[in-house]
Structure 1
């Protein structure tokens, strides 16, 4: 293939790390590449909560438009930020092997102060807010926006006890501090820790190149999680957690729909054979909807649309 593959990416440090990872893997396969940096709406508007700025695709639309205009050949995304419905003619070209899925809280002071009744915790995620409030209902939650570096600096600059991050993001750019706790009780966002490459369906050579980076096991698991989210009719900012993992010849899935204030939760846990797992996410979502999740989802949407 003589064509240079133009790799589109957001221009944050983490997004660039992901793009360079893809570039390195493609170049090991003897493909020529170049990085094209772009800024997304989600990166530019930092003074409004994420769920209030039309958050479906807020981090991906700029790259979608650049691809449709022929400015880039592929786009590299944090998969948890990608809407479950891709634009027409844009397809999933590959899902890379997943990193750690856990959330962590980076804290100041002592661990005792972190869980004290009046603690203030920062996060821009409704999912993290809801699960944290369910466990610590007396805490104050404050909005936190920006790339990883910006959010860490805001934690340093403000009188907050802690802020919640994806562990994989901090580890990828060597910013995970020692003063953190892994939140192994918090169910991650669907597809957290995974990287997706998208491309046009009319570019077979590009699709063939990307297919060599595809990790089938990760793709199966994140597909289940994203089916769970889409069947609940929740966007990537709704308070929905979902995590699937392969254990020998089976897939275990746990999912959660939370009220934004954390008081009410609808959860599900199932194990299925791998051959039956493609419908697991949808089935688990339907179970939650049938058990009162439909009413809860309507209430959540009212808040998100405000």
Structure 2
């Protein structure tokens, strides 16, 4: 184990927490490691919504380049940020045990609860969250919210919004989940939300073997199904897509949906299948959505973005 594994990461608090988690686990197995942090385009450009930037993998591309150039050996990502099509030469090395998958709504500290029957303004930088919120609360206003977790929480405090939507896992990982929140159990999460993934070069047998020791089989399977669904629907286009797969009693239970940008349309699927028969399950669920109006809806989304 003479080789030092260079771990690439973004430099936000959450990204560094994730990288340190992988570092600790590898070092507990006897590997030598080094952290190397970089800033992604998604971290540097904060004055535009993500979908307007038109870059696939905006939070991962810089680390992809660093791996291909040989500057780092592996990269640690929030899996929901990773494009379903990995660059040539890069493969999925491991999916770590999954954290909470839910979204939560963080509201103002001076409010015991938010009265959603009123016309209020909430914030999110996610098309998926915006579309689902407007689907449930069509009279509300949704404004864009960018920046790392810490920045976004501060913006909630500084602005006259009812609150903002966050991934529960991200706030819990760095101990920033406030008491003034509620779990949005009706909101379908992003595919692979709550999961961490390690990317590695396909030709690096040493790092592939090391990372494989950290892989969680259930997390790898459920995220695979969700990302299959996303990839089949998306076709390279950003769209409001939610997906969650869970394993219970040797079955995979899947819930996925595609929304119009304004939330007025919702195409939804709920299916269960034995784990032993789950080959292409996510893609098959996506095909049912596409056949029931999804193709037309995706075309409309592409024209609007």
**Alignment partner, residue 252 of structure 1:** 253
Give the 5 Å matches for 1:107-126. Answer: 107-108=107-108, 109-110=110-111, 113-126=114-127
Paired with 2:189 and 2:57, the residues of 1 have a C-alpha distance of 19
Q: CA deviation at 1:260?
A: 0.9
TM-score normalized by the length of structure 2: 0.98
Cα distance change, pair 260–196 in 1 and its aligned pair in 2 (3 A): same
Confirm whether residue 88 of structure 1 aligns to residue 88 of structure 2: yes
Q: Is the 8 A contact 1:220 1:278 kept in 2?
A: no
**Alignment partner, residue 2 of structure 2:** 2
Paired with 2:53 and 2:295, the residues of 1 have a C-alpha distance of 24
SS in 1 for 2:157: helix
Cα distance change, pair 236–59 in 1 and its aligned pair in 2 (3 A): farther
TM-score normalized by the length of structure 1: 0.97
Q: CA deviation at 1:56?
A: 1.2
Q: CA deviation at 1:234?
A: 5.1
**Alignment partner, residue 68 of structure 1:** 68
Paired with 1:223 and 1:97, the residues of 2 have a C-alpha distance of 14
SS in 2 for 1:21: helix
Paired with 2:264 and 2:225, the residues of 1 have a C-alpha distance of 26
Q: CA deviation at 1:114?
A: 4.2
**Alignment partner, residue 212 of structure 2:** 211
Give the 5 Å matches for 1:174-253. Answer: 174-233=175-234, 237-253=238-254
Q: CA deviation at 1:182?
A: 0.2
Q: CA deviation at 1:98?
A: 0.5
Cα distance change, pair 290–8 in 1 and its aligned pair in 2 (3 A): same
Confirm whether residue 158 of structure 1 aligns to residue 159 of structure 2: yes
Cα distance change, pair 12–250 in 1 and its aligned pair in 2 (3 A): same
**Alignment partner, residue 15 of structure 2:** 15
Confirm whether residue 58 of structure 1 aligns to residue 58 of structure 2: yes
Q: Is the 8 A contact 1:155 1:163 kept in 2?
A: yes
**Alignment partner, residue 141 of structure 1:** 142
Q: CA deviation at 1:117?
A: 2.4
Cα distance change, pair 136–235 in 1 and its aligned pair in 2 (3 A): farther
Q: Is the 8 A contact 1:122 1:144 kept in 2?
A: yes
Q: Kindly report structure 1 stretches of 4+ aligned residues shifted beyond 6 Å.
A: none
Cα distance change, pair 234–262 in 1 and its aligned pair in 2 (3 A): farther
Q: Is the 8 A contact 2:5 2:207 kept in 1?
A: yes
Residue by residue over 1:123-161, the C-alpha shift from the partner in whole angstroms, topping out at 9 and shown as x without a partner, is: 000000000001111000000000000000111111111
Q: Which structure 2 residue ranges, 5 or more long, are not aligned?
A: none
SS in 1 for 2:176: coil
Cα distance change, pair 83–119 in 1 and its aligned pair in 2 (3 A): same
**Alignment partner, residue 34 of structure 1:** 34
The alignment's C-alpha RMSD in Å is 1.1
Moved more, 106-115 or 126-135: 106-115
Q: Which structure 1 residue ranges, 5 or more long, are not aligned?
A: none
